[in-house]
Amino acid sequence: MTGITHPRDRRLQPVRWWLITVAALIALMVLVGGATRLTESGLSIVEWKPVTGALPPLTQQHWSEAFEAYKAIPQYRELNSGMSLDEFKTIFWWEWSHRLLGRVIGMVYLLPFLWFLWSGVLTSELKKRLWVIFGLGALQGAVGWWMVASGLTKRVEVSQYRLATHLILALVIFAAIVWTLRRLKVRAPLPAPARLRVTSAVLLGLTFLQLYFGALVAGLRAGRVFNTWPEIDGALIPSAARLFFEAPWWRNLFDNTLTVQFEHRMTAYLLFALAIWHAIDAIRSRAGAAAINGALWLVAAIAVQAVLGILTLLHQVPIDLALSHQAVAIVVLTLAVLQVERLKTRRPVASAQKLGLVGKAA
């Protein structure tokens, strides 16, 4: 295939740059959210004001009012009693920045989207996909407040269930944008066997599962306990009595710090092993340079992610290592999405040309 040659494809170039910008902002949003969690800042703003909340406190009186509102929740009374106003401002700015970035993403998405709708550059299928992404973004704002609300009355932190939901929804939106970017240009099918498509899809599913478990680890602060590797709680595989002491048994999968950290580790091993198998299979089946390179890059990213995860655990979650671990997780997710899309069955190039979606093959 040649580069962009069809007039319609050239018209979509601004759409590509717009989506790349939104995806980059979402990745930044995830990292700022991670820093907000690591600094225990997420409950510093106890109200949800979608419009007026964009302005921070501007006077000493406003700062005092915000601080007094924070003092009324359990986190202040049980964890931060005696905190000074300057200390409160530090955690306030993290949470405010996180919410402001969410508002910025909403505007960066909506305004160009409306322009592209008006200009007629978007196909009907692309419009539907972009409306769905917009709807997910609006839902994410509500989920964010639903998460924060869980820590305002009876808890000293947000619910790990809601935290995991908030993170996964953000990454689903990110993955949908990456997928849409790839689908803007139809490419020739790769000579890959069906089993490679299956394993790439399983890898993507495992990546999301691992990210969910990682969110539970963060929500439970499970990375600050059992700080040894490869053993955990004195063994490679802890006893069943330690892993499943809560009733009903399934609650341990979400509430038991040992079980949550253990399943996060085991899923990492499985993900790494399957990525290696996928790469070997791509090479042996001569699936094409793009598929092979995509598989090898995915293995490399998962390896880096595993090393960062181990270092983060051994050093009891310092913020620099923890955020690096989270950043590479986004890279792994991106590569997993690209590999699935790369191997997905496509329309024949000739049919795509008739629809005006791609240029002619060289």
Looking at the structure, tell me whether residues 203 and 304 fall in a common domain: yes
Residue 298's pLDDT band, with cuts at 50, 70 and 90, is very high
What sign has the CA pseudo-torsion 163, 167, 168, 170? positive
Looking at the structure, tell me whether residues 44 and 158 fall in a common domain: yes
CA distance 353 to 293: 27
Alpha-carbon dihedral angle through residues 83, 85, 89, 90, given to the nearest 10 degrees: -40
Looking at the structure, tell me whether residues 56 and 196 fall in a common domain: no
Q: Is the pLDDT of residue 347 over 90?
A: no
DSSP character at residue 83: -
User: Collapsing DSSP states into helix, strand and coil, what is residue 315?
Assistant: coil
Residues in CB range of 247: below 8 A, 6 or more apart? none
Looking at the structure, tell me whether residues 328 and 220 fall in a common domain: yes
- What is the per-residue pLDDT for 82? 87
Looking at the structure, tell me whether residues 60 and 147 fall in a common domain: yes
Residue 3's pLDDT band, with cuts at 50, 70 and 90, is very low
- What is the per-residue pLDDT for 346? 57
Looking at the structure, tell me whether residues 178 and 205 fall in a common domain: no
Tell whether 356 is covered by a domain. no
Tell whether 353 is covered by a domain. no
- What is the per-residue pLDDT for 348? 45
Please give the average per-residue pLDDT across 351-359, as a whole number: 41
Of the three residues 143, 161, 187, the one that is the final residue of a domain is 187
- What is the per-residue pLDDT for 192? 80
Tell whether 354 is covered by a domain. no
- What is the per-residue pLDDT for 345? 63
**Domains held by the chain: number:** 2
- What residues form DSSP beta bridges with 232? 235
pLDDT more than 70, % of the chain = 92
Q: What is the mean pLDDT of the chain?
A: 89
Decide: 357 and 4 in contact? Cβ < 8 Å: no
231, exposed or middle or buried, with CB in 10 Å at 0-12, 13-18, 19+?
Answer: exposed
- What is the per-residue pLDDT for 26? 97
Tell whether 227 is covered by a domain. yes
Looking at the structure, tell me whether residues 38 and 179 fall in a common domain: yes
- What is the per-residue pLDDT for 108? 96
CA distance 327 to 176: 18
- Reading the block at residue 162, the tokens are 């809601």
Please give the average per-residue pLDDT across 207-213, as a whole number: 97
Please give the average per-residue pLDDT across 238-267, as a whole number: 93
Looking at the structure, tell me whether residues 219 and 183 fall in a common domain: no
Tell whether 282 is covered by a domain. yes
What sign has the CA pseudo-torsion 128, 99, 167, 229? positive
Looking at the structure, tell me whether residues 226 and 250 fall in a common domain: yes
Looking at the structure, tell me whether residues 149 and 38 fall in a common domain: yes
Domain range spanning residue 228? 190-345
- What is the per-residue pLDDT for 53? 81
Please give the average per-residue pLDDT across 144-163, as a whole number: 90
CA distance 223 to 309: 9
CA distance 9 to 183: 12
CA distance 324 to 321: 5
Tell whether 7 is covered by a domain. yes
Among candidates 172, 205, 132, 201, which has minimal Cα distance to 344? 201
User: Collapsing DSSP states into helix, strand and coil, what is residue 6?
Assistant: coil
Of the three residues 187, 219, 248, the one that is the final residue of a domain is 187
Tell whether 269 is covered by a domain. yes
Per residue in 18-48, pLDDT (tens digit) is: 999 999 999 999 999 999 999 989 899 998 8
Looking at the structure, tell me whether residues 283 and 164 fall in a common domain: no
Please give the average per-residue pLDDT across 162-168, as a whole number: 95
Tell whether 362 is covered by a domain. no
Looking at the structure, tell me whether residues 201 and 254 fall in a common domain: yes
User: What does pTM read for this prediction?
Assistant: 0.90
